[in-house]
Amino acid sequence: MEPQRHSPRALRFGVFEFDLRSGELRKQGRKVRLEGQPVLVLIKLLDRPGELITREELQKELWPSDTFVNFEQSLNAAVKRLRQALGDSPANPRFVETLARRGYRFIAPVSGLAAASGPVAHARPVVGSLAVLPFGNTEAGNTESEPETEYLADGITESIINHLSQLPIMRVMSRSTVFRYKDKSLDPRSVGRKLNVDAVLLGRVLQRGDALLVVTELVDVQNGWQLWGEQYNRKMVDIFAVEEEISREISEKLRLRLTGEDRSRLAKRYTQNSEAYQDYLRGRYHWNRLSEEGLRKGIEYFERAIQRDPNYALAYTGLADSYGLLGFFGLASAAAVMPKAKEAARRAVEIDDGLAEAHASLAGIFKIYDWDWAASEREYKRALELNPNYATGHRMYAAFLAALGRADEAMRESRLALELDPFSLVISMEIGWNCCMARDYKRAAEEALRTLELEPQFPAAQSTLGLAYEQQGRYDEAIAALEKARDASDGHPATLSALAHALASAGRIEEADALIDRLTELSARQHISPFWMAVAHAGVGKTAAALEELEKAFEQRDVTLVWLGRDPRLDGLRAEPRFKELLRRINLLPSAGSARAGG
C-alpha cells in the first residue's frame, strides 16, 4: 500500500515562510504585512518556481475584468509591493525576476514544510539561476603553454554561457559579470551568494597536443552539495560536442523543461570546422582585452577563421566588432575601418539572419557611421527580438535612444541591460553618460559614483563624473575627476579634451590652451578625433575653430558625431548656422528620417 502523501503546509525560501492555507508571509517567524493582489501573485509564482509566469497568464487569472491599462498599473504596483515585502531589488533580484515585456519568475530555491499531521514532504530545490565561473587553466605557471590553454578555457566558458543564456527559463550571469572573478581563488559558494544565483558551474581545461581534458562540477550555492560533475577526455576536434554535452547535462540535471526550440538552441553550431572555431576563440580572447594590440590580433584570428570557413557568421561578427571598436576608441580614422566593419556585419547577417549579435553589430554601424537612424533602430529591434536577454543589445540600443534625445526610452533599455548584467562597468557607466546627455546631471553623477564604487580607476566613469560636475558648476571637483581619468587612461586624447573644456569653464584659460596645444602636437603623430578638438576649442570660446573641427569630423565620418545633438559642451555653438547645417547633414534635425530625432 502506498504511504499517504501530504501536501506541504508552507513553503520556505531564504529567511521567509509562506503559509499556503492562511496566505501569511513570515520572516524569521515574524509576520510580514502582505495582502490583496501581491499575495495572489506570490502564490502564482510559488506554484511554479523557476518557471516563467507570463503577464498574459496573470491577467487572465488574477485581473480578468480589468482593461489593459488598469491591469498594467495594477500588476506593476502588486509586484512592487511584493518586492518591498521581500526586501527584493528589480536590478539584482533574489526572489522575483522580471523577464522584460514577458513576465516574472521566482528564482530562489523553494522547499516544503510538513503539514501538521503526517511525514515531512520536502520539495526539490529549484535552480533558476546559474553562474558559469571562468574555467581554470591547468597550465597556469607554464609560461610557454599558458596563453594557448587560456584562450581555450575562456572560450569554453563563454560558449557555455552563450548556450545557456538563450534558455528563457534559466537566468545565467553574463560574461562580463563572472569574468570579474577570473584568476581569483574564491569559495564558489561565496561567489554564488555575491552574484545571487542558485548554483555555480566550475571547470578546468587541459590541452596536450590533440588531446583535450575538461573537468566540470555544478555546485548548489545554498548547501555546497555537488549537483553534478563530469570529466571529458576528448580530441580537440570534439570540442563542439563537449560544450553541447555540458549544456545539455546541466539542463537535464536541473530538470529544466525545454521546448524543441530550446533544445535546438543548445545544439546549434555556427561552424563544423574545429580549427576555425579555435581561431574564433583566439580572436575573442584577444578582442576582450579591448586594447589596440588586442583588437588587431583579434582581426588576424577572425580572418583566419573565415579563411577556414567562409560561412562562419560569428567570425564575421567578431571582425565587425574589432574594426568598429578601432574607430570608436579613436585608434583609427572611421573612414579607414568602418567600411570594413559594415561589410563584415552585412555578411554575418546574410549568412545567419537569426544571429542577434550580427544585427546588433550592423545597427551600431548604421548609428555611428552612416547616421541612418531608422535602419539602426530596425536592426536593434531585430536583435532584441531574437534574444530579449541580450544585455549588450539593450545597452547599445539605449545609447542610440540617448543620442536622439529619447531619454525615457534610453533609461528603460539601460535598466533592462543592467538587470541582465548587474555587475557590468560599461552598462553602469553608460547610464550616467546617458543621463548627462539628458541634462540630468545630479543623477549622472550618482550613477558615475556608483560605477566607481565597483572600479575606482575606470576612466570612462571618471570622465562622466567630471562632465556632470562641470555642468553643475562644481569645477574643482570636475577637474579633479577628469585629471584622474587622464591619468588612468595614460593621457587618452578624449580625456585631454574634456579636461581642457572643464579648465576653461573654471576660468583657467591658459591651462586649457596648453592642453589644446598638446592635442595639436599629438595629432601630428596619431589620429585625434576632430570632435574632441572641437570640444576643447568650444571650451575656450574659439567658435570658428570648433566649427571647422566639426566640419572636418563630418568629412571623416567621425563616430563621435552621434552626440552632436546632445553634448552640453557644444551648447555655445548651437545658434550658429554652420552647426545647424551639420545637424541636418547627419540627420539629427526633427525632419530627418522615420526615427524621431533629437538636437
Give dist(CA 444, CA 437) in Å, integer.
Answer: 9
The confidence band for 118, taking pLDDT boundaries of 50, 70 and 90, is very low
Higher per-residue confidence, 417 vs 62? 417
pLDDT of residue 499: 97
* Contacts within 8 Å (CB) and 24+ apart, 576-584: 576/543, 576/547, 578/547, 578/550, 578/551, 579/547, 579/550, 582/550, 582/551, 582/554
Residue corresponding to grid cell 548656422: 577
All three cell numbers of 598: 533629437
Identify residue 380 by its one-letter amino acid code.
Y
Identify residue 441 by its one-letter amino acid code.
Y
pLDDT of residue 139: 54
Query: Could you tell me the maximum CA-CA distance found in the chain, to the nearest angstrom?
Result: 94
The confidence band for 210, taking pLDDT boundaries of 50, 70 and 90, is confident
Higher per-residue confidence, 585 vs 121? 585
pLDDT of 531 > 50? The answer is yes
What percent of the chain clears pLDDT 70, i.e. is strictly above it? 87
pLDDT of 112 > 70? The answer is no
pLDDT of 157 > 50? The answer is yes
What mean pLDDT is predicted for residues 485-513? 95
Enumerate the H helices of 166-222 as residue ranges.
Answer: 175-178, 188-195
Give dist(CA 140, CA 182) in Å, integer.
Answer: 12
pLDDT of 396 > 90? The answer is yes
Q: How far apart are the first and last CA of the chain?
A: 77
pLDDT of residue 431: 94
Q: For the chain, what is the mean pLDDT?
A: 84
pLDDT of residue 469: 97
**Dihedral in degrees, nearest 10, Cα atoms 23, 27, 29, 32:** -50
pLDDT of 513 > 70? The answer is yes
pLDDT of 144 > 50? The answer is no
Q: Specify burial of residue 32 (Cβ count, 10 A radius: 0-12, 13-18, 19+).
A: middle
pLDDT of 178 > 80? The answer is yes
Q: DSSP states of 523-579 as a string?
A: HTTS---HHHHHHHHHHTT-HHHHHHHHHHHHHTT-GGGGGTTT-GGGGGGTTSHHH
Distances 487 to 111, 125, 332, 482, 521 between C-alpha atoms, Å: 52, 49, 22, 9, 19
CA 556 to chain centre: 30
Give dist(CA 368, CA 378) in Å, integer.
Answer: 15
Within 13 Å, how many C-alpha atoms sit on residue 122's CB side?
4
Give dist(CA 373, CA 547) in Å, integer.
Answer: 23
All three cell numbers of 413: 533599455
The confidence band for 67, taking pLDDT boundaries of 50, 70 and 90, is low
The confidence band for 64, taking pLDDT boundaries of 50, 70 and 90, is low
CB distance 385 to 360 below 8 Å: no
Residues in the chain: 599
Within 13 Å, how many C-alpha atoms sit on residue 84's CB side?
10
pLDDT (tens digit per residue) in 447-472: 999 999 988 988 999 999 999 999 99
Which element (helix H / strand E) includes 383?
helix 373-386
**Dihedral in degrees, nearest 10, Cα atoms 508, 511, 513, 519:** -140
**Architecture of the domain delimited by 270-388:** Alpha Horseshoe (1.25)
Which residues are bridge partners to 206 per DSSP?
213
Which element (helix H / strand E) includes 534?
helix 530-539
Q: What are phi and psi of 566, to 5 degrees?
A: -125, -25
pLDDT (tens digit per residue) in 256-268: 666 666 677 666 7
Identify residue 205 by its one-letter amino acid code.
V
pLDDT of residue 256: 63
What mean pLDDT is predicted for residues 397-405? 95
Q: Cβ of 237: how many Cβ atoms within 10 Å?
A: 14
Contacts of 94 (CB under 8 A, 6+ apart): 14, 86, 88, 107, 108, 196
Give domain 129-258's CATH number out of 3.40.50.10070, 3.40.50.150, 3.40.50.300, 3.40.50.720: 3.40.50.10070
Residue corresponding to grid cell 573565415: 306
Give dist(CA 312, CA 233) in Å, integer.
Answer: 27
Which element (helix H / strand E) includes 104?
strand 103-106
Q: Lowest mean pLDDT: which of 1-15, 301-315, 346-360, 371-385? A: 1-15
pLDDT of 122 > 50? The answer is no
Handedness of CA 537, 426, 492, 457 (dihedral sign): positive
CB distance 499 to 535 below 8 Å: no
pLDDT of residue 28: 66
All three cell numbers of 141: 605557471
Give dist(CA 91, CA 240) in Å, integer.
Answer: 34
Residue corresponding to grid cell 560558449: 159
3-state helix vs strand vs coil in the chain, percent to 5:
60, 10, 30
What mean pLDDT is predicted for residues 324-336? 84
pTM attached to this predicted model: 0.71
Give dist(CA 98, CA 89) in Å, integer.
Answer: 10
Q: How many helices (H) and strands (E) does the chain have?
A: 25, 14
pLDDT of residue 593: 39
Identify residue 136 by its one-letter amino acid code.
G
Residue intervals of the chain classified under CATH 3.40.50.10070 are: 129-258
pLDDT of 599 > 80? The answer is no
DSSP letter, residue 186: -
Higher per-residue confidence, 321 vs 244? 321
pLDDT of 170 > 80? The answer is no
Measured at the alpha carbon of residue 201, what is the angle toward residues 256 and 207, in degrees to the nearest 5? 120
Within 13 Å, how many C-alpha atoms sit on residue 290's CB side?
5
Residue intervals of the chain classified under CATH 1.10.10.10 are: 10-113
Please give the CATH number for the structural domain made up of 10-113. 1.10.10.10
pLDDT of residue 66: 52
Give dist(CA 288, CA 297) in Å, integer.
Answer: 11
